[in-house]
Structure 1
């Protein structure tokens, strides 16, 4: 069954509801999946704590041994193989070119971002339980949007009137100089990759070929009959650059701050005793201490992000393990909902407690006092519940008091 309203389509299907035995079987499968998720989340959390400590130790080690260079024009032999810090302007003899659009710049990177105006399908579902079967209403809506990736319309529910081109005439690309210097030192590929502060390229630096059908409008170069009213298949391109070289006509060269190992005239990765590689680059003038502080902050944010992901996996794992409980009572209207709420709260508490326990075990290896403190914290809810239960007077005692 189909209902069509302009660019919206609704498909109605029916699905047989699983029997009680089938739902029990699915719960048993979910139980096995839940065990796998618990193992995976525990491993992720434990690994993350070791990674966080190792990174922190590497950063502390780096800050303690880094040598500020007094000159960026001379590579002193005494600094060879050591971790050095310097601030200097960028320089490259390479010219980043996009010949199709007449762009030639003395910069480290030139980025061409291409988007095509295409049909995009949105899908939403609503389900209605009708006793022995479920009514599924799937709605499809279509809109025209700028997308950097090619959207295949062959998989659309309704292809009629929503066809997209099969390819893009122009693709996105980043042109990168393979030789970049700061002072007299050459940056490694990893350091060059860290130069990312892009700025949009103005119309005056783009040489649009005559009779090309291209038009510059609102920061983009359009391949369209009317950029103000684009049609499906139209292309728009934005050019950006970063790392202005000393020879560039764009203005003053960009300054960067670098912490890396000096190997002759090359700046490359430094291996710490803790086991990490240090190879830092920040835009602008920044002290070595500030650079290491920024890296510490990034490490903290990453650590908490992975902790949340590990907890979420663990919560889903407990949900799979306990799904059989809700399956046994979900046919009871009110009881099923209450049990589901209770099981959900229990899963949240268990996942938080177990996550803290795994984190504590990870920290015991590196910082025993903190690790044991976290371990005690993970058992705090259970300790408090025991204390409350022991301190609560019995009903018989209350009768004796009030009698």
Structure 2
């Protein structure tokens, strides 16, 4: 009895999760179709060289190309000496115990192993704490960024502008300071601990760095306000304020590729969520199919039925997804929306014109313009039209045709 209640609860839980997938998928797809295509926006920018003085409006998008520099130096005392970095990121890993669990039937098994991790777990939450204690991480990940830089004669807020991806810093005896005996330089890592880089013990840490260097050719997108490049707002909501270590054309192509990757990635993710949601809503049917596994000679129904449900769920999900995406694309694109609206009006108008010319006009011609239909018998004409007791009161024509003399129509 308890087992049946648990199964029913499980089915209802899956249905709720399925509905939750819908609540996530459709708003996500809607917002995804409304995201800005910065590749297209960037293509409308005015190209400028950093050393040129160009008279542009303060609300105009520009792409300024030149060498990006900064007077500030940043480092990570006492580990890494200062250098001409725009941004420097420190990554810290600790050799720590990690708990793994596996469930088999009604039993749960735990396994513990030592490995390098940048987020060592709190060992107090382990199922078995003894012999698996992790010390606190003595050093945290951190990112350092210079406050201001310049590209030609224009200032850049390097703490606000979107920067390019960083690259790994090559560590050596020149840029690394070793001040303690337990510190060791091993490849591109600084090892600190009681063990060794090849034989660490729990609690040992290693540090690596990624950085963005200055004095590189770059292109900055934004708008010019006096002698500073500041964020550009597209339609007062989409901010474009980015720095690329490439030409304007390559930067635009990169933004366009980012847009396409995000757009289609979220579309396919939304389709997968809708598919999963529909499949989970079919859980009661799947639960019934599970019973077939225990019926002699009917076990195949479970596998076949489950496959059919997966395919049907996918087909329904695809149709719903396609309709919703098309509607979202139209709704977010004003020009496309107006074009579709105009097309609908034209089609509706053409349909109305056809209906009027082929159905309404003949009826009006028949009713108000009597013509010569001498050969038409009252009986045949009476079968084509239905009249009231008053000869002049036409209620409902069954068919419409031209050239009928309403004076010759029989009265029922």
For the pair 1:117 / 2:77, whether they are aligned, the reply is no
Structure 2 length-normalised TM: 0.73
1:30-179 matched pairs, under 5 angstroms: 30-51=14-35, 55-56=36-37, 59-64=39-44, 66-70=45-49, 72-73=50-51, 75-101=53-79, 103-127=81-105, 136-165=106-135, 167-179=136-148
CA distance in 1, matches of 2:160, 2:227: 14
Q: Distance in 2 between matches of 1:101 and 1:22?
A: 57
Per-residue deviation, residues 291-347 of structure 1 (Å, max 9, x unmatched): 222212111110111112211221221122111112233222113333222222211
Unaligned runs of 5+ in 1: 1-16, 128-135, 245-252, 373-403
Residue 231 of structure 1 corresponds to 201
Partner SS for 2:165: coil
* Structure-2 separation of matches of 1:102 and 1:218: 14
1:266 maps to 2:266: no
C-alpha RMSD of the superposition:
2.7
Q: TM-score by structure 1 length?
A: 0.74
Residue 327 of structure 2 aligns with which residue? 361
**Of residues 250, 265, 268 in structure 2, which corresponds to 1:290?**
250
Asked whether the 8 Å contact 1:363–1:370 carries over to 2, the reply is: no
Change (3 A) 1:21 1:209: closer
1:232 Cα deviation after fit: 0.7
- Per the TM alignment, residue 102 of structure 1 is displaced from its structure 2 partner at its CA by 5.5
Match of 1:257 in 2: 219
1:23 paired residue number: 7
Distance in 2 separating the partners of 1:274 and 1:62: 16
Residue 203 of structure 1 aligns to a residue whose secondary structure is coil
Instruction: State how many pairs are aligned.
Output: 331
Counterpart residue number, 2:213: 243
Find the counterpart in structure 2 of residue 395 from structure 1.
none
> Which residue among 323, 342, 366 is the counterpart of 2:283?
323
Tell me the CA shift for residue 234 of structure 1. Answer: 0.7
The whole-number CA distance in structure 2 between the counterparts of 1:108 and 1:272 is: 27
Return closer, same or farther for 1:324/1:210 CA change in 2, 3 Å cut-off.
Answer: closer
User: 8 Å contact 1:364–1:370 — kept in the other structure?
Assistant: no
Residue equivalent to 2:381: none
Give the C-alpha shift of residue 214 in structure 1. 1.0
Instruction: Label 1:99 to 1:289 Cα distance change in 2 as closer, same or farther (>3 A).
Output: closer
Query: Structure 1 359/265 Cα, relative in aligned 2: closer, same or farther at 3 Å?
Result: same
Counterpart for residue 296 of structure 2: none
Distance 2:24 2:326 in 1: 17
Structure 2: give runs of 5+ residues left out of the alignment: 294-298, 342-412
Would the alpha carbon gap of residues 157 and 362 (structure 1) be closer, same or farther in structure 2, given more than 3 Å must change? same
Q: Distance in 1 between matches of 2:117 and 2:128?
A: 20
The aligned residue for residue 306 of structure 1 is: 266
Work out whether residues 318 and 347 of structure 1, in 8 Å CA contact, stay in contact via their aligned partners in 2: yes
| Change over 3 Å in CA distance of 1:276–1:323 after alignment to 2 | same
Would the aligned equivalents of 2:149 and 2:158 in 1 still touch at CA under 8 Å? no
3-state SS of 1:206 partner = coil
User: Contact between 1:84 and 1:259, CA under 8 Å: does it hold in 2?
Assistant: yes
Using a 3 Å threshold, how does the CA distance of structure 1 residues 216 and 21 change in structure 2: closer, same or farther? closer
Give the equivalent residue in structure 1 for 2:318.
Answer: 352
